Amino acid sequence: SLLRFELEPCPGPLDRSPARGPAMLEIGLAPGSNEIVTAWYWLDRLGEAPLASKSILSGKLDAAWIESVVLDFVGRVLARAKS
């Protein structure tokens, strides 16, 4: 199973910076494992390899871990939009 989020901040009407493509976060079972949940981050959805990843044993997976992964991802995307 895999859960995928795509995020593309919309620039304001006065923002003249070049448009950036969407970023992507995937959360799922690590390949070949039923015990490790991994989150992969791509700040460029078309990138070959993820920028970062975080993993946790499935028995320790909780709402706090998911919240930290999503907030970290959103923070990275927003920081990218400012640069």
Query: Would the pLDDT of 78 be above 80?
Result: yes
Specify the range with the lowest mean pLDDT, choosing from 16-20, 58-62, 69-73. 16-20
Per the DSSP assignment, residues forming a β-bridge with 42 are 24
pLDDT reported for residue 40? 94
Give the residue among 63, 53, 64 at the shortest CA–CA distance from 28: 53
Query: Would the pLDDT of 82 be above 70?
Result: no
The answer to whether residues 24 and 44 touch, using CB atoms and an 8 Å cutoff, is: no
Question: In sequence order, what are the residues at sequence separation of 6 or more whose Cβ sits closer than 8 angstroms to the Cβ of residue 52?
Answer: 40, 41
Residue range 3-54, pLDDT digits in tens: 898 887 777 777 776 667 789 999 999 888 889 999 999 988 777 788 888 9
pLDDT reported for residue 36? 94
Distance (Å, whole) CA 33 – CA 36: 6
Give the residue among 50, 75, 31, 73 at the shortest CA–CA distance from 83: 75
Amino acid at 39: A
